[in-house]
Amino acid sequence: MTKQHVRINEVDGIRGWAAFLVLLFHAFGEMLKFAVPAVHFAWFAPFLAGDIAVAIFFILSGDALSSGFFAGGGERAIDRLLVRRYLRLTIPIFMSCLLTYLIMATGLDFHMKAAEILQRQDWLGQFLQFNQSLLGFLRYSIIGVYISHTRELSYNPFLWTMSVEMIGSMLVFLLCYLWHRLKKPHLLCFLLLVWLAAIGSFFSLFFAGMLMGHYRQQGLFEKLLKQRNYQLLAFAIVVIIIGTSIATAGIHRPAALLPLMLCVAMVLVFCFYTQRHLKAFFSNKFSLFLGEISFPLYLVHFQVLISLMSWLVIQDYTAKGSIDQMAFLGFACLTVVVSMLVAWCFRLIEQQILKRADALVLPILI
């Protein structure tokens, strides 16, 4: 196995749990926000940290996209990623939006009526504010998702992250190509991180991921994993962050605190990488399974929310004439399970298509 193909298990595991937290955030924190107030019990806050989870996604992207380069693959490793990047993102996005299109075309989207029952017209009720069309679906899936995404007019409202992901990927590739042409590339990377984080830009996270990948190859992580005092400190930092999220649950967080949230995400990922027990947790079999289905899970849970969960809410409310909070919690749990099953099936199909796509694009490289 060549260096550029070495996978770092904990990266996959952390990504998997981040996707899982986003799912929990939408199924419980958003769908049941008013119908079942208990979901916002303070002790549940760490499991509904969707904003932190998304930020972690971007850090992991910066790390994963540059890891082959730092591991010795050089520019050749970046060449392969660059020519594959658009299809690697767009093919799964196309599949996700096709699923939404089919749900709309067959009348299986029940979210509008469910939004009234759940009192979420401000969120669930704003989705899919258009009539589906084949041309519109194709336009959005192929290019619109990157340049003209809106909550109301998108086939998957959760894909606002894709424009950030695409641009962030290109920034990572550009800096990798320039790395050996700069006197102090790691310093430039750090300065970009600080400046972008200070203005609340998600792009700072990609440079944070790059720096972590760089220092991993420099041996820093291995040194920290062997230092007992640091191990206690890193674990304590994670506990403090989790404790703070519990203590501040329910408190409004203004946009001005976005830079702080970005820094918290960076600190968490660094601790996950360098604390041996946390690293082992994110490398276990279940974490790696979540990592395997992480992107599909992110892509398909919207469709489960607007179809299955919304339908169950409507049926239960119609039958009982009132909100049954325990039943609604059960529907959210079922949504989580079904989303994971759909994501697993999605991944099996996606893998085969991506293999064929690689066979088409990789031969253009010398």
> pLDDT tens digits, residue range 56-96?
999 999 999 999 999 988 899 999 999 999 999 999 999 99
Among 300, 307, 305, CA closest to 103: 307
* Reported confidence tier of residue 3, pLDDT bands at 50, 70, 90: very low
Contacts of 333 (CB under 8 A, 6+ apart): none
pLDDT at position 4 over 50: no
Q: Which of 308, 305, 353, 338 has the alpha carbon at shortest distance from 31?
A: 305
Residue 250 pLDDT: 77
Q: Look at residues 70, 106, 127, 60 and name the one whose alpha carbon lies nearest to residue 270.
A: 60
> How confident is residue 257, by pLDDT bands cut at 50, 70 and 90?
confident
The 10s digit of each residue's pLDDT in 6-30 is: 678 999 999 999 999 999 999 999 9
Per-residue pLDDT at 324 exceeds 70: yes
* Residue-level pLDDT at 222: 95
Residue 46 pLDDT > 80, yes or no?
A: yes
Confidence of residue 201 (pLDDT cuts 50, 70, 90): very high
Residue 201's CB: how many other CB atoms inside 10 A? 19
Q: Crossing angle, helix 203-217 and helix 50-68, to 10 degrees?
A: 50
Q: Model's pTM, two decimal places?
A: 0.95
Q: Would you state the pLDDT for residue 292? A: 96
For the chain, give the mean pLDDT: 94
